[in-house]
A and B are shown apart, each in its own frame.
Chain A
Amino acid sequence: DTAVSQTPKYLVTQMGNDKSIKCEQNLGHDTMYWYKQDSKKFLKIMFSYNNKELIINETVPNRFSPKSPDKAHLNLHINSLELGDSAVYFCASSQWGTSGGTDTQYFGPGTRLTVL
C-alpha cells in the first residue's frame, strides 16, 4: 500500500508551458505539503495545507498554485514554466502536531521536473 503517491514521476516540458503534479495520501493525515529540492539537494517548503486550508505559503512565485480538493489530495499547478523551476518536487503529509510543531512527515516518491 502506497502511503503518499505522486504523479507523474518524471515531467519533461518546454519553457512557457503549464503543468500539474498530483499528490494523494492514504494515511488519514490532515496536513499536506509541497517541497522543492534543487540540484544541491536543498529541501525547501513551498506550501502547506491543513484540512484543505492553506496555512503556509513561502516566498514562491505566483505561477505556482496549490489546490487541495480534500484532505487526502494536494495538487500543484505551475504556469509559464521557467528553466529555474527544474527540480524534484516532493509531496508530504503529516498529522497536525498536538505538542506544537509538526508531527512526522511522510514523503512521496517525488516528481522530477525538467524544463527545457
Chain B
Amino acid sequence: QQPVQSPQAVILREGEDAVINCSSSKALYSVHWYRQKHGEAPVFLMILLKGGEQKGHEKISASFNEKKQQSSLYLTASQLSYSGTYFCGTASSARQLTFGSGTQLTVLP
C-alpha cells in the first residue's frame, strides 16, 4: 500500500524551513527519501532504518517514528537548489520500495 505524503506542495522563500511528512499503514523496515528535479532521475537523500540507523547527506535531517510508522524530512535554511519533488519510499518485508505520491517543493528567491 502506498505511503501518504503531506503536504502535496509547498512554496518557500530562500532561508525558510519546511517539513515533509510520510506515513504508512504497514510495519516498516526502512524509509527512504529521494528528490527529483524536473526531467531528471530521483536522487537519494536519506535512508532511515528500523532501530535508529540513518544514512544520508549531512545537510539533510529526518526522523523515523517506528511505532507510528511515520517519517519526516526536515529542510532548514532552504536554498534555490532544494526545489523539486520529494518522494518517500517505504520498505516492508516485501523488500521493495513503495513510493508516496510526492511533495512538490518550490523555493523562491
Contact = CB atoms under 8 A, between A and B. Distances in A.
A86 B92 CA distance: 29
Contacts of A90: 41-42
Interface in A93-114: 96-97, 99-110
B55 A101 contact: no
Sort chain B's interface into a size bin: 20 to 34
Contacts of B98: 45
A56 interface: yes
13 contacts: A41-B36, A41-B85, A42-B102, A43-B87, A44-B99, A48-B96, A55-B95, A101-B30, A102-B30, A102-B32, A104-B47, A104-B55, A105-B97
Contact of A97 (B36, B44, B87, B95): B95
B28 to A, nearest CB: 7
Nearest to A106: B44
Given A97-B91, A97-B95, A104 B32 contact: yes
B29 interface: yes
Nearest to B44: A104
A42 B100 CA distance: 8
B94 A56 contact: yes
A42 B55 CA distance: 25
Interface string A39-64: 01111110010000001100000000
Interface in A76-97: 90, 96-97
Sort chain A's interface into a size bin: 20 to 34
Interface of B: 28-30, 32, 34, 36, 40-44, 47, 49-51, 53, 55, 85, 87, 89, 91-99, 101-102
Given A102-B91, A104-B55, A107-B41, A97 B30 contact: yes
Contacts of A99: 29-30, 49-51, 53
A104 B53 CA distance: 13
